[in-house]
Amino acid sequence: MRSSASQGRLPGVPATLEEARQRAEHLRRAIEYHNYRYYVLDDPELSDAAYDALINELRALEDAFPELRTPDSPTQRVGAPPLDRFEKVHHEVPMLSLGNAFHADEVRRWYRRVCRLANREALDLVVEPKIDGLAVTLLYEGGRLVRGATRGDGLTGEDVTPNVRTVKQIPLVIPVPAPEQRRVEWMPPFPAVTEPPPRLEVRGEVYMRKSDFEALNRRQAERGERTFANPRNAAAGSLRQLDSRITARRPLSFFAYGVGIVEGVNVTTHWELLGYLGALGFPINPDARLCTSLDEALVYAEAWLKRRHELDYEADGVVFKVNDLGMYEQLGATGREPRWAIAYKAPPSEAVTVLEDIVVNVGRTGQVVPTAVLRPVEVGGVVVSHATLHNADYIQERDLRIGDHVIVRRAGDVIPQVVRPLLELRTGAERPWQMPNRCPSCGEPLVQPEGEVAYYCTNVACPAQLIRRVEHFASRNAMDIEGFGSKLAARFVKLGLLKDPADLYFLTKEQILGVEGFAEKSAENLLRAIEESKGRGLARLLTALGIRYVGSTVAELLARHYASLDEIMGASLEELEAIEGIGPRTAASFVEWFSRPQNRQMVEKLRRAGVRFERVGPADEEDHTPLAGLTFVLTGTLPTMTREEAKALIQEHGGRVVSSVSRKTDYVVAGERAGSKLRRAQELGIPVISEDDLRHMVITRGR
Ligand code: IVH
């Protein structure tokens, strides 16, 4: 987020009040415009330092002439002194809610009824994401934000004006200056607006991006403050603060989707209205679509619902709205729900089920992970019967007990989570759970290293670990032994045929034929697959060894610096740490792994088997331009590099960096708080990659 640090040049303070007023006005317009470029378009024109200089000059002016300090000055976005309570606001135009449909058939019924009432064969519809935040209404008079309020019960809400003024995506003055530069391709068409409407109430959703929510929760936890259950609660809790200075520190976003009071605005359709709001300077959801038939709208909605988890905000469905505003009055409302709109909800991604047991699984590093065994339940369209519980602390913190009714949540394609138990359904028969003292596989005592939440089985001969290690060794990213998955790994280990992954290379046909499910042909196929895997080369081999923190990205990095496994084994801790992209933790884990005699023995066994220890393909020196011919766009904050560094990395390797996304863009590198460029990339179907992927590309393409 942009900070308004106290740096930057302070020009001479004007001598007269009138001069100061003019200068302040000029600065405010400029700041609001640059604010819009930064927060709404995600396409800043100014450096942070230049932006700070403008803010600082305005602050200095307002300090010298306090009568110029208006509540809608951008200097006031940091919040105002706390209130005792929120005043009530009566909504002249009620804030309605929406009827729900959970199946396409219900949407069809709604559409038929609306067509009948409107006396029309067919109607255009606008489909919009239904954002999970909280509804607010923003009153602008003469183009100035004079009041912001929550929905409340729809008729009376709370006055949260100082709070909404801190939300950077909400303009304090409309239209945001420099309209000719404001047209964005994805906005519904609407001519640039130069004059503010006399009175306008803009309605929309204040929400928190998922990435901002996670960062906020991390910050809160670090400071020992309360964390939030989900982005919606975080947004609501942040906006309903009596102290708006707290709100100002919370990363809130906004999408406009409608209006209340309207004076002096000439639009006849909802689609035009969205364009108009966009032209005034409000963020409009880029996934809103105008559809000319119900079928088109349903197809779009289904497709959007499928990919909604990829977006950086939570949405629990879409809203179908009749496009023709002229029909709204005629269609009317049933209770609090207008007939001209309906929400179409995705299948719930939370469900309640019974936690039948907690079992522990041993991973390849010996880490013992508790797993929930659940009474099978459908969550967001798939049946879930297991969920990871991460570690003992996770279970303790939530007080999960065997027999509890629990809430299970699935977000997107991520693994299901057990959120919390339903205490009100406890009968007293539930049993608390404790981490076992001994490994469930080999019976050796478990240890918890200092400073870690995880428990480990440290027995190198533990069969459960061995199965996982063999499975990993043979997996696609590692030695890629075709057809050799987790089931076979378990069978071979249990029969005592493998004491470490290297034993794979000494299996005989007779031994394989003795394993359940193998015949002449399949045994030969496996032997061939094992033989083929010997030549995968250094990077795959390093990945296959299963060293902690050494995944394929780190392995590729190392394979660029060293020509063979022997060179790497001879490297010191300092030497490894000096490699860009290798941290101290990884380097230490590496050195520790090779210092263990049984690991050294395994390496020697691999050598004897004829496994290739050297790099495959040309050495990296031969190709400095792995990204030649590729065009990149950078957006958001990358985890470890500044934009300048990322740009330099790309250019160094022959790529080009441009500032806006078009069909000619090859990749968009997105970090935290990526905004409209990311959306644009998704719209155009351009691959979006992370900083890690970029590094990976530089390495793998360079070989
Ligand atoms: S239209 C009468 N559009 O959903 C129309 N609402 O269940 C009322 N919401 O209170 C609002 N995204 O908080 C509309 N694109 C969208 C929306 C949306 C989220 C929320 C809003 C409203 C609630 C109604």
Residue 375 shares a structural domain with residue 523: no
Question: Could you tell me the pLDDT band of residue 1, with boundaries at 50, 70 and 90?
Answer: low
For range 559-581, the mean pLDDT: 88
Clarify whether residues 167 and 244 are in a common domain. Answer: yes
pLDDT digits (tens, 9 = 90+) for 630-657: 889 998 888 888 888 888 888 777 788 8
259 lines ligand 1 (CB under 6 A): no
Q: 639 and 605 in one domain?
A: no
CA nearest neighbour of 166 among 80, 51, 85, 107: 80
The predicted structure's pLDDT at residue 348: 65
The whole-number pLDDT of residue 672 equals: 81
Q: Is residue 82 part of a domain?
A: no
Q: How far is the CA of 130 from the centre of ligand 1 (A)?
A: 6
Ligand 1 neighbour 135 (Cβ under 6 A) = yes
- The last residue of one of the domains, among 426, 451, 474, is 426
What distance in angstroms lies between residue 73's CA and the mean position of ligand 1's atoms?
29
Band of residue 621 on the pLDDT scale cut at 50, 70, 90: very low
In Å, what is the CA distance from 107 to each residue of 114, 290, 645? 10, 16, 50
Establish if 84 belongs to a structural domain: no
**Residues designated as active site:** 130
Q: Round the average pLDDT of the chain to a whole number and report it.
A: 88
What pLDDT shows up at residue 622? 39
Q: Residue 258 Cα, ligand 1 centroid: separation in angstroms?
A: 9
Confidence bin at 7 (pLDDT 50/70/90): very low
Final residue in a domain of this structure, among 557, 579, 609? 609
pLDDT in tens, 468-513: 999 999 998 899 999 898 899 999 999 999 999 999 999 999 999 9
Calculate helix-pair angle for 643-652, 691-701, nearest 10 degrees: 10
Is the residue at 694 inside a domain? Answer: yes
Same domain, 262 and 393: no
Segment 268-318, tens digit of pLDDT: 999 999 999 998 999 999 999 999 999 999 999 999 988 887 889 999 899
97 lines ligand 1 (CB under 6 A): yes
Query: Does 32 contact ligand 1 (Cβ within 6 A)?
Result: no
Instruction: Determine which residue's CA is closest to atom 23 belonging to ligand 1.
Output: 97
Q: Predicted confidence band at 690 (pLDDT cuts at 50, 70, 90)?
A: confident
Check residue 548 and give its pLDDT. Answer: 85
- 55 with 104, same domain: the answer is no
> How confident is the model at residue 12, as a pLDDT?
63
CB atoms within 10 A of CB 263: 10
User: Does the pLDDT at position 218 exceed 70?
Assistant: yes
Q: Could you identify the residue written with the tokens 């006849």?
A: 268
| Rounded distance between C-alpha atoms, residue 115 and residue 107, angstroms | 12
Q: For residue 683, what is the domain's CATH number?
A: 3.40.50.10190
- Per the DSSP assignment, residues forming a β-bridge with 670 are 635
The CA distance from 391 to 228, in Å, is: 20
Q: What is the pLDDT of residue 185?
A: 64
Model pLDDT, residue 161: 95
Are residues 408 and 379 in contact, defined by beta-carbon separation less than 8 angstroms?
yes
Residue with tokens 């809400």: 157
Q: How many domains does the chain have?
A: 5
Indicate which CATH number applies to the domain containing 396: 2.40.50.140
User: Beta 350-362 vs 367-379: how paired, if at all?
Assistant: antiparallel
Query: Model confidence over 337-381: pLDDT tens digits?
Result: 899 999 998 766 788 999 999 999 998 888 999 999 999 998 876
Q: Could you tell me the residue range of the domain that residue 660 belongs to?
A: 631-701
pLDDT recorded at residue 333 = 85
> How many other C-beta atoms are found inside a 10 Å radius of the C-beta of residue 408?
22
**Is the pLDDT at 459 greater than 90, yes or no?**
no
Query: Cα 129–317–37 angle (5° rounding)?
Result: 25
Is any atom of ligand 1 closer than 6 Å to the C-beta of 430?
A: no
156-165 tens-digit pLDDT: 999 999 999 9
Higher confidence at residue 182 or residue 236?
Answer: 236
Q: Is ligand 1 within 6 A of the CB of residue 96?
A: yes
pLDDT mean over 601-607: 96
Q: Are residues 508 and 407 in the same domain?
A: no
Return the biggest CA–CA distance within the chain: 99
Residue 541 host element (H or E): helix 538-544
Report whether pLDDT(413) > 70. no
Determine, yes or no, domain membership for 369. Answer: yes
In a shared domain, residues 141 and 278: yes
Q: What is the pLDDT of residue 46?
A: 86
CATH number at residue 189: 3.30.470.30
Calculate the dihedral angle through the C-alpha atoms of 249, 255, 258, 260, rounding to the nearest 10 degrees: 10
Look up residue 185 and give its two tokens: 């391709």
Indicate which atom in ligand 1 lies nearest the CA of residue 132: 19
Among 96, 127, 128, 130, which is best to mutate for testing ligand 1, by the most ligand atoms less than 8 A from CB? 130
683: pLDDT confidence band, cut at 50, 70 and 90?
confident
Report the alpha-carbon distance of residue 230 to residue 217 in Å, rounded. Answer: 9
Q: Is 257 in the pocket of ligand 1 (CB under 6 A)?
A: yes
Residues 6+ apart with CB under 8 A from 432: 399, 401, 402
* pLDDT confidence of residue 222: 80
- Copy the structure tokens of residue 106: 């219900």
Q: In terms of Cα–Cα distance, which of 274, 260, 240, 263 is closest to 164?
A: 240
8 A C-beta contact, residue 412 and residue 310: yes
Which of 574, 609, 644 is the C-terminal boundary of a domain?
Answer: 609
Instruction: Indicate whether 354 and 475 sit together in one domain.
Output: no
Is the same domain home to 42 and 136? no
pLDDT in tens, 39-79: 888 788 888 889 999 999 999 999 989 999 888 899 988 88
Q: Are strands 289-291 and 156-158 parallel, antiparallel or unpaired?
A: unpaired
Q: Is the pLDDT of residue 547 over 70?
A: yes
Give which of 121, 112, 118, 154 is closest to 136, Cα–Cα.
154
For residues 279 and 192, the answer to whether their CB atoms sit within 8 Å is yes
pLDDT tens digits, one per residue of 316-338:
899 999 999 999 988 988 878 89
Mark whether 280 and 395 lie in a shared domain.
Answer: no
Measured from the Cα of 130, ligand 1's closest atom is 12
Alpha-carbon radius of gyration of the chain: 30
The verdict on residue 455 lying in a domain is no
E strands along 188-246, which residues?
A: 199-207
**Percentage of the chain modeled with pLDDT above 90:** 55
Q: Write the CATH number for 23.
A: 1.10.287.610
Residue with the smallest CA separation from ligand 1 atom 22 is: 97
Question: In b/e form, how buried is each residue of 370-390, taking b as 16+ CB within 10 angstroms?
Answer: bbbebeebebbeeebeebebe
DSSP assignment letter at 5: -
Q: Ligand 1: distance of its center to the CA of 35 in Å?
A: 26
Three-class DSSP category at 521: helix
Instruction: For residues 586 and 476, state if they share a domain.
Output: yes
Three-state SS letters, 131-189: ECCEEEEEEEECCEEEEEEECCCCCEEEECHHHHCCCCCCCCECCCCCHHHCCCCCCCC
Domain annotation covers residue 123:
no
CA of 97 to the centre of ligand 1 (A): 6
Higher pLDDT: 260 or 83? It is 260
Please report, for the domain that includes residue 497, its CATH number. Answer: 1.10.150.20
pLDDT at residue 604 is higher than 60: yes
Whether residue 9 is contained in a domain is answered as: no
Per-residue confidence (pLDDT) for residue 9, from 0 to 100: 42
Q: Is 418 left (phi over 0), alpha (psi -120 to 50) or beta?
A: beta
What is the CA(341)–ligand 1 centre distance, in A? Answer: 9
Query: CA quadruple 342, 347, 350, 351: dihedral positive or negative?
Result: positive
- Global pTM reads 0.57
The token duo for 5 is 């640090």
Residue 534 — pLDDT band, cuts 50, 70, 90?
very high
What residues contact residue 478 under an 8 Å CB cut-off, 6+ apart?
472, 536, 540, 543, 544
Any ligand 1 atom below 6 A from CB of 319: yes
Q: Which residues of 187-218 are buried (b: 16+ CB within 10 A; e: fewer)?
A: bbebeebeebbebbbbbbbbbbbbbbbebbbe
Domain identity same for 188 and 265:
yes
Q: What share of the chain is helix, strand, coil (3-state, %, to 5)?
A: 40, 20, 40
Evaluate: CB of 151 within 6 angstroms of ligand 1: yes
Residue 523 forms part of a structural domain: yes
Contact 557, 579 (CB under 8 A): yes
Extract the tokens encoding 350: 């939370």
Q: How confident is the model at residue 82 (pLDDT cuts 50, 70, 90)?
A: confident
